[in-house]
């Protein structure tokens, strides 16, 4: 099975499972989030263990990773309190963006964006992720949200979410790649059997979650 086929298979199984838990089981969701972020922080510690400025990186990692974890749990609680779907949109949108970026980038190839930091990221992949994000928001706003909730996205929400999925997520992913290159490692760990470690899977969410939480606080509370 190729890497692309493996990602598609995991997406088909994992995507519905994650969305179901987000929408229906807040306690289970919060528990899984805590476990995943603890695992990600453990991998982060392993990556930075030989850094000269290890203490500074340790402090940064505590704020960066656990700050995002707290933001995600708080965002889910806000959604439950005021009946908004931003946790669902964040998870699903980031997954769609990353998957489309990977598929289009691997299929079309082309010029690299950051060849020394993340040699597999291409402009074609970034554009593919953008198209995926726009299509996801369109389908959610016109079909899913109208069918299952009373919530609808305004234009400001749509622009913000596409920006978060595509641009902020890209920087989150690239920053983790920078840390790995600094440590001269390919993946944060081998935890996920051919798909890297937990930190590799959370890299986009770590940066996009706090920003989404602050947006919801600013415009919906």
DSSP string, the chain: --HHHHHHHHHHHHHHHHHHHHHH-HHHHHHHHHHHHHHHHHHHHHHHTT-TTHHHHHHHHHHHHHHHHHHHHHHHHHHHHHT--HHHHHHHHHHHHHHHHHHHHHHH---EEETTTEEEEEHHHHHHHHHHHHHHHHHIIIIIHHHH-S----HHHHHHHHHIIIIIHHHHHHHHHHHHHHHT-SSS-STTSSS--HHHHHHHHHHHHHHHHHHHHHHH-
- What residue segments make up the domains of the chain, in order of their start? 3-220
Question: Does the pLDDT at position 143 exceed 60?
Answer: yes
Q: How many CA atoms lie within 13 A of 89 on its CB side?
A: 32
- CB count within 10 Å of CB 197 equals 22
pLDDT attached to residue 146: 79
pTM over 0.85: yes
Lowest-pLDDT range of 84-88, 116-120, 132-136, 162-166: 116-120
Question: Does the pLDDT at position 1 exceed 60?
Answer: no
Q: Which of 10, 78, 68 is nearest to 37 (CA)?
A: 68
> Which tokens hold the place of 187?
């993946």
Mean pLDDT of 11-27: 74
Q: CB–CB of 96/133 below 8 Å?
A: yes
Sequence-separated (6 or more) residues with CB below 8 Å from residue 4: 102, 103, 106
Lowest-pLDDT range of 14-18, 67-71, 183-187, 211-215: 14-18
Confidence of residue 5 (pLDDT cuts 50, 70, 90): low
Question: Does the pLDDT at position 155 exceed 70?
Answer: yes
Question: Does the pLDDT at position 179 exceed 80?
Answer: yes
Length of the chain: 221
Confidence of residue 190 (pLDDT cuts 50, 70, 90): confident
How does pLDDT run across 76-120, given as a tens digit for each residue? 999 999 999 999 999 999 999 998 998 999 899 899 999 989 888
pLDDT attached to residue 45: 96
Mean pLDDT of 145-158: 88
Q: Which of 176, 168, 165 is nearest to 64 (CA)?
A: 176
Distance CA(132)–CA(99), nearest Å, equals 8
Mean pLDDT of 55-81: 96
Mean pLDDT of 54-65: 96
pLDDT attached to residue 23: 73
């Amino acid at each position: 099975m190729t890497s692309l086929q493996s990602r598609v298979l995991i997406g088909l199984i994992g995507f519905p499972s994650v969305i179901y838990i987000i929408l229906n089981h807040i306690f289970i969701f919060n528990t899984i989030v805590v476990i995943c972020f603890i695992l990600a922080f453990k991998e982060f510690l392993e990556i930075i263990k030989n850094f000269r400025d290890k203490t500074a990186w340790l402090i940064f990692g505590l704020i960066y990773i656990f700050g995002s974890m707290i933001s995600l749990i708080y965002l889910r609680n806000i959604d439950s309190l005021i009946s908004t779907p931003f946790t669902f949109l964040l998870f699903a949108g980031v997954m769609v963006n990353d998957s489309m970026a990977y598929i289009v980038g691997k299929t079309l190839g082309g010029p690299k964006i950051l060849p020394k930091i993340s040699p597999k990221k291409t402009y074609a992949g970034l554009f593919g992720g953008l198209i995926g994000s726009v299509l996801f928001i369109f389908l959610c706003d016109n079909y899913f949200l109208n069918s299952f909730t009373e919530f609808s996205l305004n234009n400001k929400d749509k622009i913000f979410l596409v920006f978060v999925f595509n641009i902020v997520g890209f920087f989150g992913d690239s920053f983790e790649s920078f840390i790995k290159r600094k440590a001269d490692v390919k993946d944060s760990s081998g935890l996920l059997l051919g798909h890297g470690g937990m930190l590799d899977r959370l890299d986009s969410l770590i940066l996009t979650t706090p920003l989404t939480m602050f947006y919801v606080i600013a415009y919906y509370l």
